Amino acid sequence: MRRKLLLLLGLTGVAGCSEARTVLTVYSPHGREQLVLFEERFEAGHPGVDVQWVDMGSQEALDRIRSERANPQGDVWYGGPALFFSRAASEGLLAPYRPRWADSVIPEARGQDDLFYGVYLTPAVIVYNSEAVSIDEVPRDWDDILDSRWEGQVLIRDPLASGTMRTIFGMIMYRGLETTGDTGTGYAWLSRLDAQTKEYVLNPAILYQKLARQEGLVTLWNLPDVLRVRDQGYPLDYVLPISGTPVLVDGIAVIKGTENPELARAFVDYVGSIEGQLVAARLAFRNLTRTDIPIDSLPDWLIEVNAELKPMDLDWALLRDRGREWMRYWDAHIRGSGRR
């Protein structure tokens, strides 16, 4: 049973005592470190709640919510590209809720009909092993990753489960469409990347480990994760591509059919609150969608990134509508073909 009772038994002179806590289930790709931060802080303000998170990729979260439509097992979906949330909203998987901080975020972070909101901005970056690759050798833009220097040195998080990689691949396809009017240019680029790729890695933790062990030297990934693992001592660093980069609006939503709608809404309120936003920026390297936080409250890393960041202009609706088609083609016709 999903809604479990946690019995805390203690000896007294005559009998034991018990305390029941309500489980709040959160589906999220944000990783253990960040999820523990929010679990502990939310529980401190809500002593009767046991936050239990399920760490999974963005696509996996969407697929799971779809599969549980008739009997929802999660309460909150916390993290993933807005285009995924938009797709879930169109499929009737999310419950409307206008959080207390709704008027404080950028317009791009406000989902249609209050079905989801964006809490973070997540740039895609080029990542490299800083012990094995000198600053002069680092790829500076997307096309540089196709240079023969990186043949067999590229590691890629499996795109089918990853919102980050699906967005990067979608950006490549959109860029090709803008240039030539058809999908051939984008698929050719992805085929060349496949030829460079040593391995499609199962999850982010394995990706960081393999890069640190120099089983591969470069990858394409998201900025917050790179900063976090670098802070933990991994020899990894990043480059913001000079031509621009997709900046994902990272969302949060109440799952339709949750057994605990009030608690789910309270969790959404906390994540987007000023306290929650500053926790994410200072301790989890998250860029923010709120516009009312004074710049002198922000960490130095965020001020520096925002000064350098060049968001790429993308047709997000097109990526939402055609992304699955592009990924199916990539999986059927491109994955592994370059190396063969």
Whether the model clears a pTM of 0.85, i.e. scores above it, the answer is yes
pLDDT < 70 regions, the chain = 1-19, 339-340
Predicted confidence at residue 339, as pLDDT, reads: 61
Predicted confidence at residue 329, as pLDDT, reads: 98
Residue keyed to tokens 């809720």: 97
Start-to-end Cα distance in the chain: 47
Predicted confidence at residue 19, as pLDDT, reads: 62
Predicted confidence at residue 282, as pLDDT, reads: 97
Predicted confidence at residue 11, as pLDDT, reads: 30
Predicted confidence at residue 92, as pLDDT, reads: 97
Amino acid identity for residue 123 in this structure: P
Contacts 24+ apart (CB under 8 A), 58-63: 58/29, 58/84, 58/161, 58/162, 58/163, 58/164, 58/166, 59/84, 59/160, 59/161, 59/162, 59/163, 59/166, 60/29, 60/161, 61/27, 61/28, 61/29, 62/87, 62/88
> Candidates 3.40.50.300, 1.10.10.10, 3.40.190.10, 3.20.20.70; correct CATH number of 22-121+248-308?
3.40.190.10
Predicted confidence at residue 13, as pLDDT, reads: 34
CATH number of 122-246+312-334: 3.40.190.10
296 torsion bin: left (phi>0), alpha (psi -120 to 50), beta (else): alpha
* Within this chain, domains 22-121+248-308 and 122-246+312-334 share the same CATH topology: yes
Q: How far apart are CA 338 and CA 340, in angstroms?
A: 5
Q: Report which of 329, 318, 142, 136 is spatially closest to residue 241, judged by C-alpha positions.
A: 142
Amino acid identity for residue 258 in this structure: T
Q: What angle do CA 134, 335, 66 make, to 5 degrees?
A: 110
CB 289 within 8 A of CB 119: yes
Q: Where are the domains of the chain?
A: 22-121+248-308, 122-246+312-334
CB 107 within 8 A of CB 275: no
